[in-house]
Every structure is written in C-alpha cells, then in structure tokens.
Structure 1
Amino acid sequence: MPQNEVREEFAHFLGPGSENGSWFRSEFQAVLDQWFDWRRDLFAEDPSPLPKGLRRSPGFLAEREQIGQKLAELCDRLTGEVPKYTPRYIGHMVSEVSIPALLGHFATLLHNPNNTSRDVARVSGAIEDEAIGLLAAMIGFDPDTAQGHFTSGGTLANFECVWRARYRMDHFLSLALAISEQAGEPLDPFAAGHMGWKRYHALAAQYGFSEEELRKASAVVSNPFEAAERIGKASGQPWRGPVLLVPGNKHFSWLKAANVFGLGEEAFWPVSLDANGRLDPAALDHAIGRARSAGRPVLAVITVAGTTEAGEIDPVDTVCDRLEALRAAGIDVWHHVDAAWGGFLCSMLGGEAETVLEGRSRTALRAIRRVNSVTLDPHKLGYVPYACGAFLVRDHENYANSLFAAPYIDRALANDRWMMTLEGSRSGAGASAVWLTGQTLSFRPDRFGAMMAGTIDSCRFFARALQNGEPLVRPLIPTDSNIFCFSLAKPGEALSVSNERTASVFRAFTADPEFSVSKTVLSRENYGELINAHVARYGGEADTDSTVLLRCVFMNPFWREDSIRAALMPRFIERLQAHMN
C-alpha cells in the first residue's frame, strides 16, 4: 500500500508513543468545553448550588484534594495494566482503540444516555439506529430494512439469536398444536417447528384461533411442562424439545445459551468439523436428518465467521444453499452467523482489499447477507472500547420476540428498543463509538477494508518470518484471517512432548514484559482431523487427545509499517528462542 495511504489510516490512532497526542488532547478538550458550555448555558437563569464561597471553603477544597489524590493513585496503578495498544501485544482479541471510537465513546458517556428508551436517549437512540444501519450495510444487509441493537458483547448478541429463534418456533408449534387438537390429526413437531411465517399467517387466518388460545398452547409464555405433555400426546411420542446445531469450533456462549434458555445441554448438538477446522456441511446434513427422525425441530443452525481459536471461516455460503433448499421444501430453519470476530472483514468485500482473502473466504463472507441474524463485536476488530457487541437481523420479521410490559416506559414510541432487548439498561457509548468510526474512517473497502487487509497481510508476514527464523515452528494450517497459531515440535516428535514445550514457552512469555501472546488448546473431540493433519506435517506421533498452540492475533494496525516489522520481528524470534532454552 502506498505510504501516504498508510499515514492517513494512522491518523485515526493515537500511536504507540502517543504520536498523535497533541491533536487528540485538543479534541478531547473540545469535547469537555462543549459539554461545559452546554450545561452552563441551558438553564442559565437557575441559581447555582455551588457558589464561589462554598468552592473555596476548607472542607470543599479538602474533598477535591482527596479526589485528586485517589485519581492519581488509580492512574498510577493502571500503568501496570497490560499494554494492549502496542504492536508488541499480539495476545488476545484486543488492541489499540481508534481515536474516533474513543472520542465518540467519551462524548456520549458525558451525557449518560440509557438507550433503553427514547424517553432518556432522544439523540443517542437515533445514533444507535444510524450505527446499526452502517454495520448492516457493511455485512450486506439492506440498511433500510435491517434491524438490530448494541449489546454488552458477543455472548449477549448470541443469546438474542436464541431468544428470537425460540420465539418464532414457539409460535409455529403453538399454532400447529392448536390445529392438531381441534382437528384430531397427528402433530409432526419437526414440520410444524419449521413452517415459516408465510404458512403460519395463512394457517392462522384459516383457523382463526384467538391470541389467548395460542398463548395457552405456548411453551414459552404458558406452562412449558403442560405444553410438552400436549405436544407429546398430539404427536404420539414424548416431546424432547428442539435442538441447537452448533459447529465444534463454536464459542462457549452457545452452551451457556442452551442452559439459560432451558433447552438443556442435551439439546446442544455439536456439528463435526472438516480437516481444516471448519463446519462440515455433510455433518450438518446428517444432524438435521437425525433431528427430523427424532421429531425434534432445529431451533437454529450456527455458523462461525472467524473462530475464537484460530480465526477459521465456516462455509456460510454452502450452509445457506443447504438451508434454502430445505426452505423450498417447506422446512424453514433459522441460520445465525457468529461473526463476533470476522464480521468486520466484510468491509473488504467489493474492493481491491478483498483479494487478500482466499476465494472460499470471500464467498463465505459475502453469503452473510443471506442469513437470518448476525453477531458482531465492534470491541474487537471494530477498534471500539469495551463493552460493545451488536446483534443484527435482515428485517423486522426476524427481529420479533416476546414482549414484556413496563408501565413506566412509554410503549407508544415504536422505535424504542426496551422491549426488544434482553438487556434492560444499555449505554449509548458503544453506538456512538461505532457511528463516529463509520462517519470518519468509514466501513468502505478502500478505507476500513484496506485496514483489515493490512492485518491479514501482517499476520502472513509474521508467519513467514517466524518459520524462516525458527525451524521448530509448526503453523496451524489453514489461516483464514489474521490469527496465527503454531506449536513447537521437532521432526517425528510425539505430540505430548511438543505440547509440553509449547506450553512451557507460553508460560515464559507470560512473565516476559517484551511481548504478549496467547495460548489455545484444540481437543480431538472437535478438531480430530485438523490435529492429525497438523502432526502429520512434521511426521509426529499423535499420542494425546489435544494439541497446545501459541496464538498470535494481529489486530494492531501498526504491524503494517515496515519499520515496526524490521524492529520487532527479529526481537520476537530472539525471545521465542530464549524461552525454548
């Protein structure tokens, strides 16, 4: 990339040595000055509860001095925090935060809006709408019809998917149960649970059940145990509930979701991975067939765009094709993409930046626009402060969920989200951080997309240089995005021995102030074929059920700079080799 473009990109970050500090300080001060002026001028005629005499009294001054002292103590303690802003930090999914995100976050914190309702967030709520539209456009949804909101992170966003998929399926099952009982015909829970909204509305109009009758047949808003008995009686077999199909590379939040929403861990059906650590479409077909035979509808199929362990991108396009074929046959299955990590890679699509991706990854990311719902984490590759996740759906129909009444909030405001979110109170700071990022850096392929391409290029540079500098480095292949995992093994060595060496080096890095890396452990239960392929590349013996990997995450934009690469790469190799001795 030309140097002038790199300099433009770096204007959006403070810099490892606070190189943009003077300008950032002035913008930070401008935010404070505007806030001070707003407070001073809004109700200028009101008497002040803090006259000068009070502010100069000994007790008042002592209190201010104590606050200053404790603030200084806090700031001093925080200098011992992990320095995640530096290119030397390649550990977890956190890095330098962008200046627009910091300023947007800070400016909104000063006003302290609660995006639960427009009653207390007139402006912040509108900014959330606009920010969701920016993210929707980035992943390929139509921003005019897409719906969504910001959450505390990817876990809550994934929970939002389960909440809505359950709401939809419960409607389908409730109506089918009522029809079955009235007509005296057997109930097929699998077919009923996937009837789709079009058929639901047609049947609802045909049979004309009242809302109260359908609520009594619901396992969500009525008695779930009574509903289960009725479904079992109508279907002629015990009702065991729906299942959740999640690939073996899943995030831990999905098992939490199965627990929280009362599905039970037994309903959490892992879908096997292929030899590259991605969801195996054939295994998905088998799981859906198994669910159909058991009379258990599929609450949702989950695919992952950027796994937590190594950044793999599942074949979202192939899964979309499979599920669309089922939909054409009357089986409508909810499809959610957990793109908490890789969703921002969609900013590369449609421009030169996308060429850094393999063709299959481009196709998979482009297919995200075809799914029901998506999880994003702006506090990861969006370079936004914690805590900021996002949940998006294609349209209003997919956003529907159970409603809850709160008499102190005005339900007349149609664009309020208080009844549409699992979380009640929600800060507007994350939405503003995303909004200001999108309005300045923008999520276009030639802007944000180019920066994403740079992180992938940096990851590949690091991988090549590390393998050239240390012969025991065994890369985990493939690398779909900007996460590089590797083990340290001698040719023909047993996996248990290389695991111990790799784990020992990780422990040494945790005590090393120069660089930060992370560690991941892949289990044979989920990654068996990938582990076998990894060990086979160096002629090793797979004598244990897991593999330990050092994990390096390339988020920091400054790794694109030649001077950073020239300074840090040799030093990292030196530290790695020192930790192996």
Structure 2
Amino acid sequence: MGNYDKNDDLFETLLVGLMEDHIAWRQINYPQNTPAPQKEKSLNIEFAQAVDHMKRHISQLISELKVSSSTNLPGYFGHMGSDLLLPGLIAQLLTTLYNPNNVTGNVKPITVDMELQAGRQIARMLGYNTDPAIHPCAWGHITSTGNSANYDSLWNARAISCYPLALKAAAKKLHIDLKISPYSNKKIAESSSWQCQNFSVDEVLDLHEFCYQQLLASSNLQTVKNFFKQVEQHRIEHMGMASFYAEHWDAKQPLVLVPSTCASSWKKYLKLLGFGSSQLLTLDVNNKMRIDINSLERILTNAEQKKIPILSVVGILGTTEFGSIDPLADIVLLRDRFRAKGLNFYFHIDASWGGYLSSLFRNPDNSLCSYDEMKKQFKNFPAKHTYDAFATINKADSVTVDPHKMGYLPIGTGAFISRNRAITNLCNDNAITNLNHVKNIEQDNRQLKEYLLEGTKPGAVAVACCLTQRILPLNNQHFGKILSESIHATEYFHERIKKTIKKLKGFVNIVLPMKPDSNIICLAINPVNNHCLTRMNRFSQRVYKQLTNDPEQANPHSAFFCSVTSLLHSNLGNEDAQSLLKKLNIRDSSFVINIEDPKVQSSSIDVLQHTLLNPWLLTEIDGNNFIDGYCEYLEDCIITVVNKESSHTLIAVGAR
C-alpha cells in the first residue's frame, strides 16, 4: 500500500476492477446460472437475517484485527513483518476467487505451471541452472511455510541415502549383476552398506538411471519393471525403519547436523521421519551466532572414523532471530574434503529469512555481481564471509526460501528448491509404472501430488509469487532495489543507535551483541549500577512492553514496534559470554546454563530485536526519518522505565 497508504486509490481501483471482471466472467462463461425463481417471502426474510448476522460478525472481526500490530507501517521494526507488494497481494486476492487447487496439472494447469515457474525464478536467483538441456537442472515448488520446505529436504535426503541399499537388496535377491557406473566394473551388490550410504545426490540419481539403462539393454521391459518393483519393496519408504535396518544390519542410522540457532521444528522433522530426535546433533555457534566450523569438522571426523553416516548438514542463510549467516562456503569445502575420504552428506540451506537477499547479488543477466561491485553499493554490507556464502548457495543440494518474509508476500508462502530435479523420480509414488521418466520429466513434474508431501495446494499463493517475480525480476536492478533500501536502513540504524547509546549513558548500558550480517539488529539494555541479569531481563521486558500493543491500556497502540528475543548461554562459549557480560556490567555468576536460583540467575539474555525490512524507513519527514523517530521514541521509553523503577525503589526504601 506504500508509505502513508499513498497507493490506496490504486489498490481500490485494481481490486474493484478485478472483482467486476470476475463476476462478468462467471456470467458470460456460465449462462446456465440464471437467477433463481422468486422465493417465498419468509425465505427472503431468513436470508436477510443471515446476511445481517454475517455482517455483525465481520464487523466484530474488523474491530478485533485492529488491535493487532500494524506490520505494514514504517514504524514497525518487529519480527518478520513489513508492507506487502501490491502485485502479489492483488494476484492472491484475485486468484482466490477462482479457488485453484494445485494438486495436479490436470486440475489447474495454469496455476500449476505458474507454481513451477515461481520455483524456477527463485532457483535462478540462487544461482542454479534451470535450463533442461544442461545437467543437473534445478526445480522448485511453493510450500505452505519454510517448515514444510525444510521437511521436504529431509524427505529427499532420506530417499537419496537409502535408495542404493534398496538397489543392492533387489540385485542380490534377483541375482542381477548391475555396475555402479559406466566407469567402474564394481557391482552394486558388492558395495558395502557404508559405501551405499555415502553416494552423492547426483551419483544416486545417475545410478538409478544407469540401472534402468543396463537392464533395458540386456533384457525386456517386463524384467525392468519386475526389478524396480522389487526395489520399491526394499525401500525404507515401503519397509519402515525397523525392517529396513534389520535387513541392512550393518548400516547405521544416520545423523542430521544443524546449528544450535536453528528452529525447534528440526526435532519434529526427525520424529516424523522415524529417526528420532536423538539423531539430531546441534553444532556450536560462535559469538556472531554463526556455525563454529571447527565444531562441524570435529563431528565429521568422528563420524568418518566410526563409520556413522551423515544424512544431512544444514546451514542457515539468515537466522530468524539475529539475521546471522553461517559459513556456507566453508561447509562446502568440508563436504568436498570428507567426500574424498568416503563420507558424504546432503547439504541443505535454510534461507527462509535471507534467501531473497540473493537478488542483490544477481545482475540482470543472472551473473554473480563481483565483491568489489557489491562493496561500492553499501557502507559495510556484505562482509567477505557473507558474500562467499551467497556465492556458494548453488553448491547446496536444496534450499528453503520464504517469499512471505523478504519476498514481501502474504503469510503462508514458502518455497523448496532442489538442485537436481531428477530427485522427483525417487519420491514418485508411481515410479514403477512410470519408468520412462527421463523423456517425460516436465510432464511428471506437473503431477505434484505424486511426489510432494502436501496434497491439496492453494494455487493463489503460487500465482502471487510468480506474478510478483515476473513484474519485479529477482536481480539487483529490479527486486533487489527494494531490498537494497533494507540494507541501507540497517546500516543507518547501526550508526544512529550510537547517538542513543551516548545520550543514555548515565541511565543504561546499551550493547550490540553482534554486528548485523543482514538486516536484523539486536540491542541488550542494562540499567547503570545493575549487576544482576534477572533484573536486566525484567527491565528489557518493561521497555519492550512500551514498544508493542497492550490491549489492557486505554490506547493500546504504540507509535513504534519492535520484538524481543534471547541470547542463550548454551549458544555462547564461556569466553564470549564473559566478554558480553563485561560490556553490560553484569556479574558472571548470574548467567548460567543450569539455573539454581531463578531470582538472581538466568540462562538467557533478553534483547530487543529490530527487523529493518520496510523499504520506507529512511523516508524523511520534517528532517527526520522513521529510524530517527524510533530511536527518539526508544529513548523516551527507556527513560520512562528507568524513572518508574527509581520511584519504586524509593517507595520500597521508604516502606522499610
């Protein structure tokens, strides 16, 4: 809608015009829908009463919704919210009238094609090849959320890791000699379980196709079908965990490695897959909230020595709490090094938050912008490690991206992108009857229900995503220009807050726990002369209450909004924790992992979180922009809480 709703007339005009067009379409294309005969007066009265009843409830809903924080306003610095792009908002509202279900291309071919096109648009932005003539070719689809996309990654990783074992079992049972590749005489039936669990994604998919070609060359089509039917019966997806690992008794259950800053949903994914949350290992992070690469190397070394397979390693491109970016380039180097030792793993990037920042790094011809050119556009962004991370995305096996975050689309729009679209062959429920998969891969990809976890899929969100990215291509001259405003705002905030820190020096200590990797800035605030972390956290929560909606107040709406999050002791080493506590003037003994006295001890540090996503934050009004206004408002809130606490202290002293 724009700053101060400047586009409200445009929005209304477009929406009304599209509604009128939709009604006309229904009348023209379905002339059999003639007006119903006049009903009895009593029925008309009942209908009128039902309409009034509906209107009352809608009016009540409108009132209730207005209590919510206005995430679309420039004064909102809170978690993961901003104004929405008009093309996507209009496209989703319009398409909802047609109510398409993207379960299969046969039902709604137009919206399914737009969903797959949206996946290709995002894949190109991430640096993947989307030309079917070049192998491997990426593909993607729209999900309900990033959580669903992350689960897709583990679903695919399990299929890749366990499929060679199923091939081996079928080849042994049918006494069929199949080579593992055209360049080796080694038979799949002779491969050890360890070797079978450590093929790369491309190797497994090539092996699947190579087995098909070998069988077709030496026997008839029925033999081929019988073999792959036997393969399906030996797959983990058919047998279940217990029977599969009982058959392959020397194959150990794999581990999944995620940073400790990951979402708690990853434990649920492992439970759903049947591996159990005990197979999930969390990687240490450093004081910048990035994966400690040495921690990852130690775990991989131990796994290689003990022959414990790694199902997947997950790196984060912009944590949702701090915006931090993991050392993705270093993870790729480690993967290549351990692959040479015989230990391979599926590499997934959770770019739910930072994925769309890739548009800043892409020229209109989709080439990668050089580091020197990137540095000319901003003051500090990107750090070298950040640039290397974005340049490395296309080395990952899959990526999660959330269009409903930095894609400025309505909530409920995630995306899963896979580097090699042939992986859909392993996840296809009709793999046995659809052996001619290579020739028909485009057609197969349109039958989404056959290889995706989700069945019913709303076409409206896919259309919103695709149309927005058609209008604003995902490169630095179009979509990237919007996000460049977010980065400029972050850099301005980083400098402007120093003025607030200086101004309030006699009242509070304000510390930035880490420099921003992307567009999220956190502030830790401690009253002067306070050395207790629990009191600091209470103070921070009171300041936060001034910066959010409080329905209990006479005027529940704040002029500005932020969010609150926590720095966990378990995510900080002792040295990093002590360094931060020293800056805040907090006793070391009050920040612990295991709390013994909750009155004076805490396992976390509460910090104010600022997401600088709105593109209008630097718009000047009367010489001040929204960041200046927020900082001044924050200063007033802090002083208000300081004064309240001081008066309470005096009252308490007087009472004693």
AA at the equivalent of 1:193: Q
Q: State the match for 2:161 in structure 1.
A: 169
Aligned partner of 2:580 among 527, 534, 543: 534
Query: SS of the residue aligned with 1:522?
Result: strand
Aligned partner of 1:433 among 464, 488, 505: 464
Aligned partner of 2:23 among 36, 59, 63: 36
Whether the 8 Å CA contact 1:118–1:416 is kept in 2: the answer is yes
Aligned partner of 1:457 among 488, 492, 495: 488
Return 67-76 or 450-459, whichever deviates more. Answer: 67-76
TM-score normalised according to structure 2 size? 0.79
**How has the CA–CA distance of structure 1 residues 330 and 291 changed in structure 2, closer, same or farther, with 3 Å as cutoff?**
closer
Compute the displacement of 1:363 (Å): 1.4
Q: State the match for 1:504 in structure 2.
A: 542
Unmatched tracts of structure 1, length 5 or more: 1-13
Q: Could you tell me how far apart the structure 2 residues matched to 1:358 and 1:578 are?
A: 37
**How has the CA–CA distance of structure 1 residues 184 and 101 changed in structure 2, closer, same or farther, with 3 Å as cutoff?**
closer
AA at the equivalent of 2:106: D
Whether the 8 Å CA contact 2:304–2:343 is kept in 1: the answer is no
Q: Could you tell me how far apart the structure 2 residues matched to 1:535 and 1:176 are?
A: 56
Q: State the match for 1:48 in structure 2.
A: 34
AA at the equivalent of 1:517: C
**How has the CA–CA distance of structure 1 residues 21 and 47 changed in structure 2, closer, same or farther, with 3 Å as cutoff?**
closer
Query: SS of the residue aligned with 1:17?
Result: helix
Whether the 8 Å CA contact 2:69–2:557 is kept in 1: the answer is no
Query: SS of the residue aligned with 1:211?
Result: helix
Return 86-95 or 212-221, whichever deviates more. Answer: 212-221
**How has the CA–CA distance of structure 1 residues 461 and 92 changed in structure 2, closer, same or farther, with 3 Å as cutoff?**
same
Q: State the match for 1:554 in structure 2.
A: 612
Q: Could you tell me how far apart the structure 2 residues matched to 1:215 and 1:477 are?
A: 50
Q: State the match for 1:345 in structure 2.
A: 357
Compute the displacement of 1:260 (Å): 1.0
Whether the 8 Å CA contact 2:510–2:584 is kept in 1: the answer is no
Q: Does 1:193 align with 2:230?
A: no
Compute the displacement of 1:481 (Å): 0.8
Q: Could you tell me how far apart the structure 2 residues matched to 1:530 and 1:106 are?
A: 48
AA at the equivalent of 1:531: A
Q: State the match for 1:359 in structure 2.
A: 384
For each residue in 1:38-63, what CA deviation from the matched residue of structure 2 results, as whole angstroms up to 9, or x when unmatched? Answer: 1111132x151435778994444343
Whether the 8 Å CA contact 1:305–1:341 is kept in 2: the answer is yes
For each residue in 1:514-562, what CA deviation from the matched residue of structure 2 results, as whole angstroms up to 9, or x when unmatched? Answer: 2322111222222336434433444543331322211111111111213
Query: SS of the residue aligned with 2:608?
Result: strand
Q: Could you tell me how far apart the structure 2 residues matched to 1:404 and 1:219 are?
A: 13
AA at the equivalent of 1:475: L
Whether the 8 Å CA contact 2:397–2:418 is kept in 1: the answer is yes
Q: State the match for 1:7 in structure 2.
A: none
**How has the CA–CA distance of structure 1 residues 132 and 556 changed in structure 2, closer, same or farther, with 3 Å as cutoff?**
same
Compute the displacement of 1:398 (Å): 3.7
**How has the CA–CA distance of structure 1 residues 391 and 359 changed in structure 2, closer, same or farther, with 3 Å as cutoff?**
same
Query: SS of the residue aligned with 2:24?
Result: helix
Q: State the match for 1:513 in structure 2.
A: 557
Q: Could you tell me how far apart the structure 2 residues matched to 1:22 and 1:184 are?
A: 66
AA at the equivalent of 1:455: S
> Aligned residue pairs: how many?
558
AA at the equivalent of 2:34: S
**How has the CA–CA distance of structure 1 residues 398 and 289 changed in structure 2, closer, same or farther, with 3 Å as cutoff?**
farther
Return 365-374 or 173-182, whichever deviates more. Answer: 173-182
**How has the CA–CA distance of structure 1 residues 399 and 335 changed in structure 2, closer, same or farther, with 3 Å as cutoff?**
farther
Q: Does 1:121 align with 2:108?
A: yes
For each residue in 1:488-513, what CA deviation from the matched residue of structure 2 results, as whole angstroms up to 9, or x when unmatched? Answer: 13489454443333233234434373
Compute the displacement of 1:281 (Å): 1.9
- Report the structure number with the largest CA radius of gyration: 2
Compute the displacement of 1:365 (Å): 1.2
Whether the 8 Å CA contact 1:312–1:480 is kept in 2: the answer is yes
TM-score normalised according to structure 1 size? 0.88
**How has the CA–CA distance of structure 1 residues 52 and 369 changed in structure 2, closer, same or farther, with 3 Å as cutoff?**
farther
Aligned partner of 1:24 among 8, 11, 16: 11
Q: Could you tell me how far apart the structure 2 residues matched to 1:432 and 1:448 are?
A: 17
AA at the equivalent of 2:422: E
Unmatched tracts of structure 2, length 5 or more: 132-136, 176-186, 216-223, 363-368, 432-436, 551-555, 593-603, 644-656
Q: Could you tell me how far apart the structure 1 residues matched to 2:425 and 2:389 are?
A: 26
For each residue in 1:202-248, what CA deviation from the matched residue of structure 2 results, as whole angstroms up to 9, or x when unmatched? Answer: 6787799922443444333114322222322xx3xxx5411101111
RMSD over aligned Cα atoms: 2.9
**How has the CA–CA distance of structure 1 residues 377 and 417 changed in structure 2, closer, same or farther, with 3 Å as cutoff?**
same
Q: State the match for 1:147 in structure 2.
A: 139
Whether the 8 Å CA contact 1:166–1:299 is kept in 2: the answer is yes
Q: Could you tell me how far apart the structure 1 residues matched to 2:130 and 2:68 are?
A: 39
Q: Could you tell me how far apart the structure 2 residues matched to 1:533 and 1:130 are?
A: 49
Q: State the match for 1:289 in structure 2.
A: 301
Whether the 8 Å CA contact 1:180–1:186 is kept in 2: the answer is no
Q: State the match for 2:69 in structure 1.
A: 82
Q: Could you tell me how far apart the structure 1 residues matched to 2:546 and 2:629 are?
A: 21
Give the alignment of 1:315-354 within 5 angstroms: 315-350=327-362
Whether the 8 Å CA contact 1:494–1:542 is kept in 2: the answer is no
Aligned partner of 1:486 among 499, 523, 532: 523
AA at the equivalent of 1:73: Q
Q: Could you tell me how far apart the structure 2 residues matched to 1:72 and 1:485 are?
A: 38
Aligned partner of 1:103 among 90, 109, 121: 90
Query: SS of the residue aligned with 1:91?
Result: coil
